[in-house]
Structure formats: structure tokens, C-alpha cells
Amino acid sequence: MGLKKKTGSMKDSKRKLVTSIDPKSPISEQYRTVRTNIQFSAVDEDIETIMVTSAGPMEGKSTTAANLAVVFAQQEKKVLLVDADLRKPTMHYTFNQTNTFGLTTVLAGQMTLNEVVEPTDVFNLSVLTSGPIPPNPAELMGSKSMQRFLNEAKQKYDAVIFDTPPILAVTDAQVLANLCDGSLLVIYSGKTEMEEAAKAKELLTAAKGKLLGAVLNHKKLQSSDYYYYYGNK
């Protein structure tokens, strides 16, 4: 049921999907490195649900989540990218979609996953936008509806990637970390303070979430104008 049509009136998002636009670029290669590191971290069990967060705002978590979803889809995996930032959602801008319905609509039982999920221009990649911003985001993250949603999504997709709010700002990411198979912490080079990164890691650990590693974002290479993205355990 196609309810969220693409709109040409929206401004181009600043969050460029470099892995789709320029898959042979050094940045795209680093996203593939992150993907490989995640897969190698799954020694005993598959990593099907991944949560992406950061310590603070404007550190590149949404860009990382979107590009990571693309490289997983390029591996011929059926991927669902979920905008679980129910406070300041951005994925509908990134993929030029409206946000009338989405994750909150599904969690409220008003519509089904199949009714609100939208395909993208990237083969095998679908997006579930946030939907209307609710008054109780953290409660929705920890609800039985979210658990049911996760179970359904894992049955229909090979990988489900969540973009969540910064973990130091609100508790949403902590709640979801406990439900996902693994979490990625995005760190902005030269901006994220060491104390903030350490506190973010501490909160993820306290939430009993599996920290897959960190992604160092916006680190310039000496011999290139490209930024360097790196995933490390």
C-alpha cells in the first residue's frame, strides 16, 4: 500500500548517500569495512538488528546508518532502515519521502509494517520513516509493540538497522540497545569529547547492549580530500 510518495519539493538532504552515488570512493570502501567488521564480530550468532547512535547531536549517526544500510543491501541482503529517532527524525529527508506514517503508526497499531514501509532507489533497501512524533518516545522503544515489531521485521528482512537519538541526550537508545543484536557508536573526529564517548559506551554497556564497535567519522586523510570512516571493535 503506497501511502508515502516521494516529493520533489523537498530540499536535497545534506546527508549524502555516498555509498549509492559513488560506490567506488574511499569513503564507500570504509563503510564496507565497517560492514565486514560487523559480520566478523558475529562469531556465534547472526547480527540481524543493529542500532546506530552517537554521544551527542550532529555527529553523523544518521549518515552512518543510511550508508551502512546501503552497503548491506549491496551485498544482496534484504535490508530495512528504520528511523527510530522519534524526536528529530531525518530519514524522510535523506530518501526524499514524506513522513505522514511510519514507525510510530505501526507501534500504535494503526497500520501494518507492510502498509507503511517504502522501497528506495537502492535495490533490496526499504525505509521505515519515524511517523508522527509521539509524546512518549522512550516508552514506545521499550513497549511490547516494539518487541512484536522487531520479531516481524527480522522475519521479513535479513538486516534491520535503526537510527536512534544521541545516547547522552535521551534514554531512547539505551532502551533499544537492549533489544537489538548489536550497537554502533558514531564518534565525530575533533568534536566528540573523550569523556562523552566514554560515557556513551558506559551507558550502552549498562543497558546490557552489545557494543559492536565505534565508527570514527569526519577524519581527514593526509593524502586525500575524502573523509575517513573507520569501524573498530
CA distance 153 to 173: 18
Supply the pTM of this predicted model: 0.87
Per-residue pLDDT at 222: 54
Q: Which three cell numbers stand for residue 202?
A: 558506559
pLDDT over threshold 50, residue 8: no
- pLDDT tens digits along 195-212: 998 999 999 999 888 899
User: Which residue segments constitute the domains of the chain, with CATH numbers given?
Assistant: 32-232 (3.40.50.300)
Closest CA to 5 of 66, 96, 84: 96
Closest CA to 197 of 34, 54, 52: 54
- pLDDT tens digits along 37-69: 998 887 767 889 999 999 988 889 999 999 999
Q: Which three cell numbers stand for residue 58?
A: 550532529
